[in-house]
Amino acid sequence: MIAQQEYFMALKQNLIQQGYSVYDNQLPPNNTPYPFVYLAGSWQNPQDIKAGDLGLLTQIVQVWGTANMRGTISEMCEVVLACAKAVKQTDHYAYKVRLNETEQQILDDNTTSKPLMQGYTSLRVSYSRR
C-alpha cells in the first residue's frame, strides 16, 4: 500500500501547486465554492515477483463545478492528467500513467438543487520499486 499512498500524496501536491482546492477525505462542506478537485476512491493490484515490488494502481479524480463551468471543468481534467503524468517517482517507487487504460468523462449531476457537472478521471498507473 505504500506505492498507492506515495502516488496519492504526490498527485495531491501537484494539484495544490496548480492552485486548485483539493479534498481527499470526503467531499467538502456545503457552500464550498466551485470548482474543486476531489480525490475519490483508489485501489491497488500488487504483483509480487522475485525482482521486487510492482503492480498497478487506480486513482479516481473528480472535478466538480456548476453546469455553466463545462469549459473550466474540461481544462481542469486536462491538468489532472498532466499532474498525474508528472509523478514519475517518489522515495520508494517509479510510476507511469497508462494512457490506454485511463478514462476521462464529463458527466451531468442533478443530485442537488443546483445543476452540477463532474469531470471524472480514472487514472491507471503502473509502479515498480526503485
What is the CATH classification number for the domain harbouring 110? 3.30.2000.30
pLDDT of 14-34, one tens digit each? 999 999 999 998 889 988 999
3-7, 54-58, 83-87 — which one is most confidently predicted on average? 83-87
* Other beta carbons less than 10 A from residue 87's beta carbon: 24
Q: Are the C-beta atoms of residues 22 and 76 closer than 8 Å to each other?
A: no
Q: Is 61 exposed, middle or buried (0-12, 13-18, 19+ CB in 10 A)?
A: buried
Range of the domain at 103: 2-129
pLDDT of 59-99, one tens digit each? 999 999 999 999 999 999 999 999 999 999 999 999 999 99
Domain count, the chain: 1
pTM over 0.75: yes
Chain centre to alpha carbon of residue 61 = 3
